[in-house]
Amino acid sequence: MKSVELAQATESLGKYIQVLGKEPLLVTIKGTSVAVLTPIADLENLPLATNPDSLILIKKSLQQQPSDCAASLADYVRSLGREPMIAAFESKPVAVLVAIADIERVSLSSNPRFLEIIDRSKQQQKAGKVVSSEDVRKKLGLG
């Protein structure tokens, strides 16, 4: 299966759909899959190369206004919520973009600053330099 790092997914969503073929494309952050762009039509038989302006995106909900697929794949992945985004060509669904991981969680878990804070907290806990949540509640008069 093909994959692309989120930071490298700078081409428009439409460009990725044009070359998608029959195989899904995984979008990753440092090797962790966060989204997948999957064909839901036989893209190889559609004239996407000759008529790319007919490719639109139905954002997240079918009730919302469709837009073109001009923004980068990375931008669309970052804006994904729990609902998929459906790409349509000449009013027929051709591909779907679906989140498969919480992008913020994945980004945070690979952030060096965040990892430093976690390591420091673990060291303080081992050294006994932590205050339990029970003690905090007592000091604040909550329990």
Q: Where are the domains of the chain?
A: 2-104, 111-139
Tell me the C-alpha distance between 46 and 25, whole Å: 18
Separation CA 78–CA 7 (nearest Å): 11
- How confident is the model at residue 5, as a pLDDT? 93
The set of residues, in sequence order, having a beta carbon less than 8 Å from that of 73 and lying 6+ positions away, is: 4, 9, 10, 11, 12, 13, 16, 27, 37
Name the token pair of 110.
Answer: 């690979």
Q: Of 52-61, 63-72, 125-134, where does mean pLDDT reach its minimum?
A: 52-61
Query: Which residue did the predictor score with more confidence, 124 or 63?
Result: 124
Higher pLDDT, 110 or 140: 140
Tens of pLDDT along 72-125?
888 888 888 777 788 877 777 788 888 886 556 656 666 788 778 888 888 887
Mean pLDDT of 54-61: 52
> What are the tokens at 131?
């205050």
pTM, 2 dp: 0.61
Rounded to 5 degrees, what are φ and ψ at 70? -80, -25
User: Given pLDDT bands bounded at 50, 70 and 90, which one contains residue 4?
Assistant: very high
pLDDT class of 61 with cuts at 50, 70, 90: very low
pLDDT band at 27 (very low <50, low <70, confident <90, very high): very high
